[in-house]
Amino acid sequence: MRITIPDTITQIEEAAFCGCVSLRYITLSRNLEFIGLAALKACKSLQAVFLPPTVTDIGNMTFCGCESLRFFYVPGTIEHIGIDVFWGCDRLLTTVKYKIDEDEEDGEVTTINNDEVNEWLMERHAILPFHQACSSISITPQVILQGIERATEVDDQQMSALHILCANPHVTDDVIRSYLQLAPEAATQEDSEGMTPFQYLCRNDIAFLD
């Protein structure tokens, strides 16, 4: 299942899509500002989330239990990321994990490194600016041409920037074509799960393929 949030929406309220296990892909409003508590919790099929730069606040446990989530990019405008937002997102958190403190008497479990996880997500592409650019909801062919010399660089999941483009719901065919004209070899580059960019493009049903 795929959902598109209209651009008139500025907030996704608490638990709005919690437990939608069939939700695989979501295109967010370009004017979204806030995502509430557990709004997309336990959406076990959700694979990618691309936030617009208008988002400033992500509530606690928003994506907790989204075990299929691989693509998530935090805009530089973010002001607050809550607690346990990505708990259980092991396909996303490849080089940093939640650490827990369990009370032996009452069995209560709390995380002790939320700040570390959130900071990793915000900074993991600081040395890969082309990856960050390709996660933008307003990516253009001109941006591609400016960064194409970094077309085959990979991140911690062995993803090139083309992998990101092919999962980005806002991408257009001219952007993809611009990339491939200058770096056709990127089309066959496999990530850590053996997926090529075009496999993501097809699996996620990007609109221009219709």
Question: What is the predicted pLDDT for the residue at 1?
Answer: 87
pTM comes to 0.88
Q: Work out whether strand 57-58 and strand 34-35 pair parallel, antiparallel, or are unpaired.
A: parallel
- pLDDT single digits (tens) 48-58: 999 999 999 99
Provide the residue-wise pLDDT of the chain in tens; the chain has 210 residues: 889 999 999 999 999 999 999 999 899 999 999 999 999 999 999 999 999 999 999 999 999 999 999 999 888 889 999 999 999 999 999 899 999 988 767 778 899 999 999 999 999 888 999 999 999 999 999 999 999 999 989 998 999 999 999 999 888 889 999 999 999 999 999 999 999 999 988 876 554 444
- pLDDT single digits (tens) 91-126: 999 899 999 988 767 778 899 999 999 999 999 888
Question: What is the predicted pLDDT for the residue at 204?
Answer: 61
Residue length of the chain = 210
Amino acid occupying residue 18: C
Question: What is the predicted pLDDT for the residue at 209?
Answer: 44
Question: What is the predicted pLDDT for the residue at 107?
Answer: 73
Residue closest to 151 by CA, chosen among 175, 184, 121: 184
The rounded distance, in Å, linking the Cα atoms of 76 and 87 is: 22
- The tally of CA atoms less than 13 A away on the side-chain side of residue 8 is 0
Question: What is the predicted pLDDT for the residue at 75?
Answer: 87
Domains of the chain and CATH, by start: 1-124 (3.80.10.10), 129-209 (1.25.40.20)
Residue closest to 8 by CA, chosen among 34, 38, 31: 31
Residue closest to 92 by CA, chosen among 17, 167, 204, 31: 167
